[in-house]
Amino acid sequence: MKLFKFTALLLIVFSFIMALDYAPNEIIVKLKPESSGLFSSNSPSKVSINNFISKAPFKISENKPVFKSKETLLQSSGKLLVGTDGLQNVYRLILDDTTDIESAIKWLKSQEDVVYAELNYITHAVGTVPNDTSYAGAQKTIYDKYNMEDAWDISTGSSSILVAVVDTGVNYNHPDLSGKVDLGFNYVDWNHNPLDDNGHGSHVAGIIAAKSNNSIGVAGMAWNNRILAIKVLDNTGHGLIINAAEGIEEAVLSGAHVINMSLASSWVGDTGALQDAINFAYANGVLLVVAASNEGKELYSSDTSHMMSPICNDGGSNMILGVASVGTDYTKSSFSNYSGEFVDISAIGESVYSTVLGSSYQTMSGTSMATPMVSGLAALILSTSPNLITHTSQTVKDVRAYILSSATDIDGFNPTYTGKLGYGLINAYNSLYLLKHTSSNVGVPSTILEFFNYPNPVKNSLTQTNSTRFHVLLSAEPISLKLSIYSYSGRRIISQTCQFNSVLISSSGEDFIWDLKDDNGSVLPPGVYIAILEVSDSSGSHKDYHKVVIK
């Protein structure tokens, strides 16, 4: 497969075209932690990479571990995070120029001591093109769609919440970014200076957290939050997928709470170094927000030619938040990929004005621009309620729930893409209002296994009342269970203590029927409503949220 050249409309990202979509002489290999076969050394519990090199039927010019060893981590921090074992024994092999890489991978995969062997795919910034849209019109027009001014009345962010930008680096000297960027590693030049030499990463960083109320430039989504700059893409916007994996590991180890990845590559598979890194982030409660990319195609798992990384590397468990782009008219951007499987949410990615190189600003378009809008909202959610941070996957689940359940339904504007733009358009005010007026199952793993309604959307009218069923499945016997439904303005529509039977904790769960009326018996008008399930059991209190659409 050739590297994508973005030609849809004006979306020509870079004129740089690669002959291959992977590094020609590199392989990423993971060895089993224990080996008695080809790669075994004197130590029965540790694979010897040097012994492996000596016995391989091809020449390896160089090798180095991809992720940090346990010994290194213990020396630097004195502790190991959850999932560290999954990052051990992964190596980047540089082969001799004469080696046939396909034969080498085939041989590696045939060895019992190899967990996986894969190409080192090239990744690239998800495309942008400058245009002449003015700042004042573009930024306010976009933010109004999210009800940002009302959201900022609740929170403008917190410096204690860190958002990692894994990209081309960040222009940390820009007047709208200076003083609020933590410097991570530069995996392109292999040094500690992640200064942007492209502009893409700086544009992303400005959308997330540019300074505000400083009488210059632009306002970021999360004014007071900090950025962690990690450079994995070069000045053309290209890089290696292994560096993206290393960037994720560094972000987690550096204390990031959210990771923005406005980049994409060919599908690298759901086993490999990138997936290992994503699993590591998820296990430690770090939310990855990833661009859907700009090929204008549908992504689905039944055909790997319609899959990309990292957007499709959700591990089948919603480990990442996939973002599509729409315009201010709520319709899908012509360039944006879409998917009923991998896109979770949409944001505006057209004509977005933000920081670039020097002291300049530019207007750009792409799912790269939509993605940091979502990262910024995630930062605001964690800033508003830091007790959501548990350093477990529960944090990812909670933040996802607040973003998705509060989204504005845009299916009506996109009949061709119904169900393929995620839950809708982010609505910052709705998310923060819901967060402020509800509590979360903080620190306690939820016993709510399933909570949804069907049909959804559901039709209703003044002359003919229909109903919808709420399906609930729990992992423990509840003491009490309450279902409440709110309008988007925050008005409680119903509050009902539900009766339950033993079937509630069986494999089939239990359904509760709602007649689409409020507590006063009035038929509700069309709109979007938020259903909140509250469960008390022996382990504590738990809540889950679900969006209900009445048409």
Q: Is 124 a catalytic residue?
A: no
* Residue 501: CB atoms within 10 Å: 8
Residues 6+ apart with CB under 8 A from 75: none
Residues 6+ apart with CB under 8 A from 42: none
Q: Is 167 a catalytic residue?
A: yes
Contact 321, 370 (CB under 8 A): no
What is the phi/psi pair of residue 123, to 5°? -110, 165
**Environment class of 129 (CB within 10 Å of its CB; exposed 0-12, middle 13-18, buried 19+):** middle
Tokens of 165: 């930008």
Contact 321, 403 (CB under 8 A): yes
83 three-class SS: coil
Query: What interhelical angle do 273-283 and 393-405 show, nearest 10?
Result: 80
Longest dimension (CA), the chain: 80
Cα gap 274→412, rounded to integer Å:
36
The count of residues in the chain is 551
3-state helix, strand, coil in the chain (%, to 5): 25, 30, 45
Give me the half-sphere count of Cα atoms (radius 13 Å) on the Cβ side of residue 154: 22
Q: Is 200 a catalytic residue?
A: yes
Contact 182, 227 (CB under 8 A): yes
Q: For residue 513, give the nearest of 465, 446, 474 by alpha carbon.
A: 465
Provide the pairing of β-strand 114-125 with 238-240.
Answer: antiparallel
DSSP state of 522: P
Tokens of 43: 């130590």
* Residue 506: CB atoms within 10 Å: 11
Query: What secondary structure, in 3-state letters, does 272-285 show?
Result: CHHHHHHHHHHHCC
Provide the pairing of β-strand 448-454 with 468-474.
Answer: antiparallel
- Does residue 310 have a cis bond before it (omega within 30 degrees)? yes
H helix intervals, 110-147: 135-145
Cα gap 172→182, rounded to integer Å:
8
Residue in the block written with tokens 């006063």: 520
Residue 315: its H or E element: none
Catalytic residue among 21, 113, 158, 167: 167
Quick one: how far is CA 217 from the chain centroid? 27
Residue in the block written with tokens 């539900």: 498
* Residue 254: CB atoms within 10 Å: 14
Cα gap 529→405, rounded to integer Å:
9
Catalytic residue among 368, 383, 431, 440: 368
Catalytic residue among 174, 196, 197, 200: 200
Cα gap 254→236, rounded to integer Å:
27
Q: Report the catalytic residues.
A: 167, 200, 368
